[in-house]
Amino acid sequence: MTDATRESAPAGGGKLAEAVKESAMAALLAFVLTSLMLGVRTVDAPGGLGLQYRWHLVIGAMVIVFVGRLLLKLFWWKEDGGAPAAVGAASGRFATLTEPLRKFAAPALVIFAFVLPFLPIADRQIIDIGILVLTYVLLGWGLNVVVGLAGLLDLGYVAFYAVGAYSYALLATHFGLSFWTVLPLAGILAAMWGMILGFPVLRLRGDYLAIVTLAFGEIIRVILLNWVEVTKGPDGISGIPRPSFFGLEFKRFGENTFHNFFGIEYSSMHRIIFLYYIILVLAMITNYVTMRLRRLPVGRAWEAMREDEIACRALGINTTNTKLTAFAIGAFFGGLGGSFFATRQGFISPESFTFIESAIILAIVVLGGMGSQFGVAVAAIAMIGGFELLRNMDWVKGFVESTFGIENFDPNEYRMLIFGLLMVVIMVWKPRGFVGTRMPTIFLGKERKAISGDLVKEGEG
């Protein structure tokens, strides 16, 4: 896709020669990039830093780049540099083929989620992963209101998650309030913070907004870290109470316990399954509320604002209120997720609320196709589930260690690397999201095609 390829390439052998030349250039670039960074490793040595040379990695990177570029050039890219039209057509055909399936996919997924704990495959680990995935589904849906529906890029979403978590942790440990009392309170507190943080940034355009929200997220984290009298700083808050089932606790001993009341054998699984259903119901509520909101005037206004803010203002929509409600509602769900996180872990510290958390949630929304509820859920399952799989992949470790001769290979280290790369690749390949599409909910008459999101470039972030 360089400038050279844009010019019409000579046919036949000339093309191969050109491809080889280009690939050689790419390999040379790879050499420049990797020679110092990958080829030399600084290691701790007596009296400062020592060096360790690893030229095989540089050569490996060059070979991969050369071959990859050559194959792409010969078989994938068209003369003008784009991906072959067949791919676009194929994915279009795929979309029409799966259209009827899509109708059933979402209900099937929900039913599966509800019966999962009773399936024979469900052991403790599966349920734990399920809880984690559902937490991210909830957060993804919450952020989807802000980013997907209202089109406001929020890079500090984790701040509201933190507000929710700390609200529950502090209220429960200091005042002894129960999870069910604090849950709505935490949501409202987070929503209030959403308004407070949203208010100053209303006038800002899309990308400025992103940086300011990012800065706000960092401010909240720094305060949590340093306000030791209240938050106990980096030590975090431990001993956060677990939720109860209508006053019944999930303990092995005691009067009011779940297994005593129902006269069943004690099992530590009860609490896990209970937590699983809490987060499932919370996520379902989030989904339901969002779906309903999309049909209300405010939801329509969000989508209109996402497509074109100037037109929105020209039509008399109060963009200030529209943005603030989006921030507040998104933050509310973030707060719910946060207090669930606190009660599940029993321990929270500022370390759980770093920027990378915001980035993961944002990636879920983006890869799911901003605005699509189903897409966000699928993206959360794929990404979080994928991370967990990577954590448990011993065969990858063995494979890489024996094939490439790298010692102490830990696939888990590559989690974020792959994640960052995926964000770039999917965005470049399918900017409108991998799973869903983001059409506005309503259309004027039959002009669905004419104003679909794919054809319109946004004026505003």
Residue 423 binds to another protein (criterion: CB under 8 A): yes
- Which positions from 123 through 162 interact with another protein, judged by CB under 8 A? 151, 153, 155
* Cα gap 286→333, rounded to integer Å: 7
Measured CA distances, 342 to 153, 171, 191, 236, 257 (Å): 26, 12, 18, 11, 22
Residue from 230, 413, 443, 450 in contact with another protein (CB under 8 A): 413
| Radius of gyration of the chain, Cα coordinates, nearest whole angstrom | 25
Question: Cβ distance 284 to 134 under 8 Å?
Answer: no
Segment near another protein (CB under 8 A), from 37-45, 135-143, 160-168, 283-291?
37-45
Residue from 174, 203, 292, 295 in contact with another protein (CB under 8 A): 203
Segment near another protein (CB under 8 A), from 90-98, 267-275, 341-349, 427-435?
427-435
Q: For residue 203, give the 3-state DSSP assignment.
A: coil
Residue 195 binds to another protein (criterion: CB under 8 A): no
Residue from 207, 235, 351, 401 in contact with another protein (CB under 8 A): 207
Which phi and psi angles does 414 have, rounded to 5°?
Answer: -90, 0
Question: Cβ distance 357 to 158 under 8 Å?
Answer: yes
The DSSP call for residue 249 is B
Segment near another protein (CB under 8 A), from 13-21, 319-327, 337-345, 418-426?
418-426
What residues does 196 pair with on adjacent strands? Answer: none
Residue 11 binds to another protein (criterion: CB under 8 A): no
* Cα gap 182→283, rounded to integer Å: 17
Residue 9 binds to another protein (criterion: CB under 8 A): no
Residue 224 binds to another protein (criterion: CB under 8 A): no
* Cα gap 205→117, rounded to integer Å: 45
Residue 61 or residue 282: which is nearer to another protein going by CB?
A: 61
Residue 201 binds to another protein (criterion: CB under 8 A): yes
Residue 315 binds to another protein (criterion: CB under 8 A): no
Residue 77 binds to another protein (criterion: CB under 8 A): no
Segment near another protein (CB under 8 A), from 334-342, 377-385, 392-400, 451-459?
451-459
Residue from 132, 210, 317, 361 in contact with another protein (CB under 8 A): 210
- Which positions from 359 through 398 interact with another protein, judged by CB under 8 A? 359, 362-363, 366
Total interface residues for another protein by CB under 8 A: 64
3-class secondary structure per residue, 10-62: CCCHHHHHHHHHHHHHHHHHHHHHHHHHCCEEEEEECCEEEEEECHHHHHHHH
Residue from 88, 200, 297, 346 in contact with another protein (CB under 8 A): 200
* Cα gap 454→431, rounded to integer Å: 9
